[in-house]
């Protein structure tokens, strides 16, 4: 399995990241025990209309690296605007497995157990490197030149995958300025964030039937209201934007835990 993992690592460039991209130790080593279901699902959704400064990108990487740990399945997807050739795409996913229950270890031969433990020791750092590399590739593809930003419709589409998860704990990181600019509505005025009326905007969204279902997930936003060249954002505009998204997520079966302006105050646990 050492050779299997190292061989995969050599191929794990961001361009080759794919679904279920982390080799399973339970499948590779015939120990006769089924892999435990992941207890946590981590989703990272990256808006490619929001270029990030270096410090915000580092914060995203740090949170992803910390969260990709044993017992966790991760999914990384990118989105922007449907009409600009950048459809919502799952870039990579994988699972970091947990070990055998202590009471079952005696049922496995010493030789197989040694191979299995070695495989698990390699799997977690491999998965972390793959996840961060995939995030970095998606962030690098972001551009200010995209005229529209279908944040609502994209998140609605991605929420289906979150809701389908059977994990006990579902964490969603959204890397985006969260400034909608689509056929549904626009939060811009003269290229700046305008002061929206959250209820008016929610009524527009309801009329357009752009809702989601995140199945009780916790939501963290990184990059909220981030404007090109650090454009000015007044507190009333920021509060109104956050209130809108808090209400939209509540209506979409999710809890907005923190809305980064643009960075989070606390690391995600």
CB distance 20 to 140 below 8 Å? no
Evaluate whether 211 touches 252 at the Cβ level (below 8 Å). yes
- How confident is the model at residue 228, as a pLDDT? 77
Give the CA count within 13 Å in the CB-facing half-sphere of 183. Answer: 8
CB 43 within 8 A of CB 158: yes
Q: Yes or no: say if 120 and 97 are a contact pair by the CB < 8 Å rule.
A: yes
Check residue 31 and give its pLDDT.
94
The confidence score (pLDDT) of residue 81 equals 62
- Three-class SS of residue 40? strand
Q: What radius of gyration, in Å, describes the C-alpha atoms of the chain?
A: 20
pLDDT score recorded for residue 194: 92
Strand partners, 172: 43, 219
Q: Check residue 80 and give its pLDDT.
A: 83
Segments in the chain below pLDDT 70? 1-18, 81-86, 146-147, 230-232
- Residue 76 near residue 129, CB atoms below 8 Å: no
Instruction: Give the integer Cα–Cα distance in Å for 48 and 26.
Output: 36
Predicted local distance difference test score (pLDDT) of residue 200: 98
pTM score, whole prediction: 0.91
What per-residue confidence (pLDDT) applies to 12? 37
Burial 99-130 (b: 16+ CB within 10 A, else e): bbeeeeeeebeeeebebbeebbebbbebbbeb
In this predicted structure, what is the pLDDT of residue 180? Answer: 95
Pair of tokens at residue 112 = 């197989």
pLDDT of residue 4: 42
**Strand partners for 92:** 76
**Residue 198 and residue 240 in contact, taking contact as beta carbons nearer than 8 Å:** yes
Q: Spell out the domain ranges in the chain.
A: 2-259
d(CA 263, CA 269): 15
């Amino acid at each position: 399995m050492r050779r299997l993992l190292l061989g995969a690592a050599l191929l794990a460039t961001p361009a080759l990241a794919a679904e279920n991209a982390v080799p399973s130790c339970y499948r590779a080593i015939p120990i006769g025990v089924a892999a435990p279901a992941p207890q946590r699902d981590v989703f990272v959704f990256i808006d490619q209309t929001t270029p990030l400064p270096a410090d915000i990108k580092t914060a995203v990487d740090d949170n992803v690296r910390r969260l990709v740990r044993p017992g966790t399945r991760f999914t990384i997807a990118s989105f922007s605007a449907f009409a600009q050739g950048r459809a919502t795409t799952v870039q990579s996913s994988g699972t970091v497995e947990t070990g055998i229950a202590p009471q079952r270890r005696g049922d496995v031969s010493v030789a197989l157990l040694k191979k299995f433990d070695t495989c698990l020791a390699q799997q977690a750092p491999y998965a972390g490197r793959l996840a961060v590399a995939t995030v970095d590739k998606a962030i690098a593809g972001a551009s200010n030149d995209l005229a529209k930003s279908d944040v609502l419709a994209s998140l609605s589409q991605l929420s289906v995958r979150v809701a389908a998860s059977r994990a006990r704990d579902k964490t969603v990181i959204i890397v985006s300025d969260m400034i909608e600019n689509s056929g549904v509505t626009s939060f811009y005025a003269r290229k700046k964030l305008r002061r929206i009326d959250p209820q008016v905007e929610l009524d527009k969204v309801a009329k357009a039937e752009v809702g989601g279902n995140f199945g009780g997930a916790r939501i963290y936003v990184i990059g909220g209201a981030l404007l090109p060249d650090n454009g000015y954002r007044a507190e009333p505009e920021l509060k109104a934007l956050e209130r809108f998204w808090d209400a939209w997520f509540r209506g979409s079966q999710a809890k907005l835990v923190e809305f980064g302006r643009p960075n989070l105050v606390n690391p995600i646990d």
